[in-house]
């Protein structure tokens, strides 16, 4: 069954398996989320659940959102997000759900906004190699090189990879495994890194890929002749 929740990235840590294997994890404060509205195909044209996350002061919320919060009987929230799920009938307006909708071994997709890096060159932005660092290779070693302007048709094509604004874009990392669920503290430990800086908002959803959980806790395969 498809599941989703909003959360805040807290940072990174590590978890040890019983065999001593180290798993790098990202700690996410996931939920609690309040159901602000349940949309149906009959009334709205599609099925979705609108959830709120993070308490907000009333004077910081605009009037349309405040009216929706009062109608649902929910305290004002900082973040609102719609999730189109397979089965929205189990959600009720005004109810609350926590991170325990997920369990250990679930595979999830995590979306967030990456850290802004400002104006950067092509090496940092596009992973260009740069020129040789030896003598005689030119005064600049990290420049773009030819853009093809002196050839037919005598102009630079659109979407040419150049220096410019880098970061502050929405990224989704797919097929990440939930390593641990702490329902008392509303924490999810997810294997690997997730997009965004610390205290950044992230969206956690069931993966669209057919991943299988538990791969981090499987014992490593021993090869004959090797210790």
pTM of the predicted structure, to 2 decimals: 0.78
The reported pLDDT for the residue numbered 105 is: 83
Going from the C-alpha of 172 to that of each of 29, 40, 139, 177, 223, the distances in angstroms are 18, 27, 39, 14, 35
The reported pLDDT for the residue numbered 127 is: 92
Q: Return the closest-CA partner of residue 124 out of 133, 115, 113, 112.
A: 115
What is the mean pLDDT, run by run of 10 residues, along the chain of 227 residues?
A: 85 86 89 85 84 86 86 85 82 82 87 92 91 82 81 84 92 89 88 90 86 64 53
Q: Is residue 122 part of a domain?
A: yes
SS3 of residue 170 by DSSP: strand
Check whether residue 107 and residue 210 sit in a common domain.
yes
The reported pLDDT for the residue numbered 19 is: 78
158: Cβ contacts below 8 Å, ≥ 6 apart: none
Check whether residue 88 and residue 16 sit in a common domain.
yes
Check whether residue 92 and residue 33 sit in a common domain.
yes
Bond into 186 cis (ω within 30): no
The reported pLDDT for the residue numbered 217 is: 66
Question: CA angle at residue 176 from 170 to 182, to 5 degrees?
Answer: 105
Check whether residue 25 and residue 83 sit in a common domain.
yes
Q: Residue 128 belongs to what domain range?
A: 117-166
Check whether residue 93 and residue 65 sit in a common domain.
yes
Check whether residue 81 and residue 24 sit in a common domain.
yes
The reported pLDDT for the residue numbered 118 is: 94
Q: How far apart are alpha carbons 4 and 102 in whole angstroms?
A: 9
Check whether residue 129 and residue 98 sit in a common domain.
no
pLDDT tens, position by position, 127-164? 998 888 888 877 888 888 788 777 788 788 889 899 99
Q: Is residue 15 part of a domain?
A: yes
Check whether residue 57 and residue 37 sit in a common domain.
yes
Number of domains composing the chain: 2
Check whether residue 88 and residue 132 sit in a common domain.
no
Q: Is residue 224 part of a domain?
A: no
Check whether residue 148 and residue 178 sit in a common domain.
no
């Amino acid at each position: 069954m498809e599941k989703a929740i909003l959360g805040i990235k807290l940072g990174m840590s590590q978890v040890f398996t019983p065999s001593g294997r180290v798993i790098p994890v990202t700690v996410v404060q996931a939920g609690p989320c309040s159901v602000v509205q349940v949309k149906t195909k009959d009334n709205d044209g599609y099925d979705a659940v609108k959830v709120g996350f993070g308490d907000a002061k009333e004077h910081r919320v605009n009037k349309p959102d405040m009216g929706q919060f009062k109608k649902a009987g929910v305290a004002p929230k900082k973040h609102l997000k719609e999730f189109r799920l397979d089965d929205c009938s189990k959600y009720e307006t005004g109810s609350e759900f926590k991170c325990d909708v997920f369990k250990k071994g679930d595979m999830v997709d995590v979306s967030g906004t990456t850290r802004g890096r400002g104006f950067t060159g092509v090496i940092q932005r596009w992973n260009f190699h740069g020129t040789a660092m030896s003598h005689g290779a030119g005064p600049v070693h990290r420049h773009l090189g030819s853009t093809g302007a002196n050839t037919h048709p005598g102009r630079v094509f659109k979407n040419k990879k150049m220096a410019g604004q880098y970061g502050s874009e929405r990224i989704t990392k797919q097929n990440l495994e939930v390593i641990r669920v702490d329902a008392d503290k509303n924490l999810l430990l997810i294997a690997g890194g997730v997009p965004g800086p610390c205290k950044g908002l992230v969206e956690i959803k069931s993966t669209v890929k057919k991943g299988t959980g538990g791969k981090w806790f499987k014992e490593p395969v021993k090869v004959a002749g090797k210790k």
